A and B are shown apart, each in its own frame.
Chain A
Amino acid sequence: MSKSMDNLHKIKNSLKRRSRAEARFRWYGRVAILIGLAAVLLLFADIIGKGHGAFKATYIKLEVHYDRDLLGVTSLADTAQLMEANWDAVPKAALRERFADVSGRRNKRQLYKLLSNGAGFDLKDHLLANPLLLDQTETLWILADDDIDTYYKSWLDGEPYAARLSNKQVQWIDQLHQQGQIRLQLNTNLLTRGDSREPEQAGIRGAVMGSLLTLLLTLMLSFPIGVAAAIYLEEFATKNRFTDFIEVNINNLAAVPSIIFGLLGLAVFINFFHVPRSVPIVGGLVLTLMTLPTVIITSRAAIKSVPPSIREAALGMGASKYQMVLHHVLPLALPGMLTGAIIGMAQALGETAPLLMIGMVAFIVDIPQGFTDPATVLPVQIFLWADSPERAFIEKTSAAIMVLLSFLLIMNISAVWLRKRLERRW
């Protein structure tokens, strides 16, 4: 009797222990998932927190006088004169006028640093667009220097970062702020310009265009080739050693580190075939080879999901194998294939390492217009900016990441939407 009580007691105790273990185990799972989700949230919060500021830039309100003599321009139609003209003189004069009490070369030089290095050229563009303004005066908001921008934004946030400014400059900004002559407004440079050494002048347009061209080429090559390979492997290949070898190759290529594709591109396309460096063609070719396995694997899955009865019906009606594939299997598998292509393109869009190998890291100011213009791509631009020492580039980098992530988001959402919308369940 006492023995069975003892056993019962033991079992009860062990049951308690076991159910505690059960609860603990569940909590491990929950904690793991929470850590994962927290990482997602943290990443996005960090990037957005750092980058949202870059969509606005600091501008200073000044009275600008387009003085003929100051510029050294008599006629705006004369391009030689425009090349020679002293465009920087205009904003400098405007600053001197605004802060009339500043004297001495050193102070003046600090004063000039309030404005962006490119302010003169911005005024040139403005003047050329409105030629009647020559010798006229106008009130303009002019882009401030990146250090001023960083300081002003951090000051507005309550944690002023003045490490790169002098006391005088801080005072001037304070003065401007009190009179409402300094403000944040939409930063159009970010989306409309190419790269620049000056953070306030730098934009991602060139990189976005480079990405677009590279991706276009990748899509044009990898989608047809990938679909053709998938059709061959699913519908025509006989099961033999050679087919197995192709399959093993595809599966392995899908897992080869991307940097190896960069080495391949460097050795084959650039050193052997002498394709020029840094152009979207090489980038597109390398990314094609890289995304091909993804496209093939997803296309094969899409073809597999078409039920055999469709094939049998087509063959039964006297269609040849090609007619069956082209007229029946392919249209039904197309949504799945497109989804795969979009996923492959998203992968290509975010890829950086192989493009570093083939020289797409060059500093390129011009916006590429074609497949043979030197270009860089968005992720590489992010890498370059992340490496830059200027503090203002941190903000820019985060903003570029936000743009990149939103492109990826759009692509992935459209892939999901496409699958939901067009996929048929059999």
Chain B
Amino acid sequence: MESSSLFLLMLSMAALAFYLGRGRSLAMAKPLGGIRHLHSLPSYYGLNAFLWCALPPLGILVCWLLFNEPLINSLVMSGLPEEIKPSSNADYNLLLNKISNIANGVMSSQGKPASVIAAADHMAGLRVMSRWGLTALCLILAMAGLFWGWRRVAADFRARQAVESVMENLLLGCACLAIFTTIGIVLSVLFESIQFFRSVPFFDFIFGLNWSPQTAIREDQVGSSGSFGAVPLFVGTLLVSAVAMFVAVPIGLMSAIYLAEYSSKSTRTYVKPALEVLAGIPTVVYGFFAALTVAPFLRNLGADFGLSVSSESALAAGVVMGVMIIPFISSLADDVITAVPQAMRDGSLAMGATHSETVRRVVIPAALPGIVGGIMLAISRAIGETMIVVMAAGLAAKLTANPLDSVTTVTVQIVTLLTGDQEFDSPKTLAAFALGLMLFTVTLLLNIFALHIVKKYREQYE
């Protein structure tokens, strides 16, 4: 049975369980003199039966969906005769694909070796068996659950508590998904990175000055030894982020100060959302804008002044990224500036300071931790920003601090290494995960630190 129809069947059985459980509790209540003699409301008895009927088969179904294919694949591949057992990982995947295509009937079995056909038959047989096994298991579990839920209906059965404890666990599970996601990220990135560091030493990676990940297909090709020194990427990332911060921090901060301290309420209600439009624009749009409008403009401008500006300059990507980050900084700064107690401003003004002196000498120092936290969050965002640099920055790794030159960044390299044809265990693709690990570590540290500062600051004035 297809998993979707199986799912629907399970659901309808569970609905039946609800109906039966509820009906039984009502029937039980009648001779006792009404439902007030039951421990819980009838619908709780129904819900209890529903949960018993639905949850176990659903769990089985999910596990099956996750583990069925890998399990069958490994069974088939380990059952292959010695002579066609693949030696390398790539051969393994190729053969597996072939067998699975024959088993699916996508590829015709004509002219294939008998052992492959046998494996395909084996696979098809296993698939049918596992599907039937699943259907049978789910049905039996659902029936058993239905019966059990129905049987347990009794006047003194604490159905509400039973249902609520299941619910609480479900809610807890949803909340824990955040933890699982983090663990998943760490494990997936770490696992592949460790594999990468087996072929490329860790210190060569983070201190190496040469980045050319093109590993050749043949031994004698030019540049056959890909070199994975990531320093040029780190420098490029920092350069672009620095340009972005150079644009975003003054503009974002000054507009936040103006909006929080000077502007009339009506200006604020219109200007603030208008600035926040910038935060809602997808990054791919900024990338397009940077690559097709800002970069040519800067190049022509540079040519007018006799400067040679690369058409994929760090400047163009950085400026546009800075524009993207303006609302981020301005809204964070706005929050912390408005959180500074009015009494501090009043004190300064009463001493004869002008408004701007108050802002510069009292409000900003008081809000400084929050502002610094906000800027750090913005830096982490700039470092991790992908689409703008993919579209507007270059691909060639160059070790330079000149913003007019073309540089490449960590995120650009991750994208280039992982899109297009790839085999999964070459150092080239694994390098992307190592870069991802660096990116994740740095942004995580920045975030934790920044969130810590912001939180501490907030507590200070609350």
Binding site for B on A (CB under 8 A): 18-19, 21-22, 24-26, 28-33, 35-37, 39-40, 43, 46-47, 50, 224-226, 228-229, 231-233, 236-237, 245-246, 248-253, 255-261, 263-264, 266-268, 271-274, 289, 292-293, 296, 320-322, 346, 349-353, 356-357, 359, 361, 379-380, 382-383, 386-387, 394, 397-398, 401, 404-405, 408, 412
Could you tell me the dominant secondary structure of chain A's interface residues? helix
Taking a contact as CB atoms closer than 8 A, the residue among A28, A229, A293, A405 that contacts B171 in the complex is: A229
Taking a contact as CB atoms closer than 8 A, the residue among B181, B287, B443 that contacts A386 in the complex is: B287
- Minimum CB–CB distance from A292 to chain B (whole Å) comes to 7
Residues on B with beta carbons closer than 8 Å to the beta carbon of A225: 174, 177
Assess the A322–B167 pair: CB atoms within 8 A: yes
CB-nearest residue of chain B to A261: B185
A-B CB contact pairs (8 Å), 30 listed: A22-B357, A26-B262, A32-B251, A32-B255, A36-B327, A37-B275, A43-B278, A228-B174, A229-B177, A236-B168, A252-B182, A255-B381, A255-B447, A260-B185, A260-B440, A263-B189, A263-B436, A274-B69, A289-B181, A350-B282, A353-B415, A356-B418, A357-B419, A380-B284, A382-B284, A386-B284, A386-B287, A387-B391, A408-B280, A408-B282
C-alpha gap A116/B11 in the complex (Å):
52
Q: A19-B354, A236-B171 are in contact. Are A350 and B436 (CB under 8 A)?
A: no
Residues on B with beta carbons closer than 8 Å to the beta carbon of A40: 274-275, 277-278
Taking a contact as CB atoms closer than 8 A, the residue among B170, B175, B439 that contacts A237 in the complex is: B175
C-alpha gap A387/B284 in the complex (Å):
12
Residues on B with beta carbons closer than 8 Å to the beta carbon of A356: 390, 415, 418-419
Q: What number of A-B contacts does a CB cutoff of 8 Å give?
A: 259
C-alpha gap A47/B283 in the complex (Å):
14
Residues on B with beta carbons closer than 8 Å to the beta carbon of A353: 283, 386-387, 390, 411, 415
Taking a contact as CB atoms closer than 8 A, the residue among B168, B181, B436, B451 that contacts A292 in the complex is: B181
Q: A25-B356, A273-B66 are in contact. Are A263 and B432 (CB under 8 A)?
A: yes
Assess the A22–B354 pair: CB atoms within 8 A: yes
Assess the B289–A43 pair: CB atoms within 8 A: yes
Q: How many interface residues does chain B have, given as a range?
A: 35 or more
* B134-181 contacts to A (CB < 8 Å): 160, 164, 167-168, 170-172, 174-179, 181
Assess the A36–B326 pair: CB atoms within 8 A: yes
C-alpha gap A108/B274 in the complex (Å):
54
Assess the B414–A259 pair: CB atoms within 8 A: yes
B250 at the A/B interface (Cβ < 8 Å)?
yes
Taking a contact as CB atoms closer than 8 A, the residue among A35, A272, A404 that contacts B251 in the complex is: A35
Residues on A with beta carbons closer than 8 Å to the beta carbon of B175: 228-229, 232-233, 237, 246
B312 at the A/B interface (Cβ < 8 Å)?
no
Residues on B with beta carbons closer than 8 Å to the beta carbon of A43: 278, 281, 285-286, 289, 323
Assess the A22–B355 pair: CB atoms within 8 A: yes
- Minimum CB–CB distance from A279 to chain B (whole Å) comes to 14
Residues on B with beta carbons closer than 8 Å to the beta carbon of A289: 181
B288 at the A/B interface (Cβ < 8 Å)?
yes
* B238-285 contacts to A (CB < 8 Å): 250-255, 257-259, 262, 271, 274-275, 277-278, 280-285
Assess the A267–B323 pair: CB atoms within 8 A: no
- Minimum CB–CB distance from A171 to chain B (whole Å) comes to 31
Taking a contact as CB atoms closer than 8 A, the residue among A250, A258, A322 that contacts B178 in the complex is: A250
Residues on A with beta carbons closer than 8 Å to the beta carbon of B280: 346, 350, 408, 412
Q: A21-B356, A259-B411 are in contact. Are A29 and B170 (CB under 8 A)?
A: no
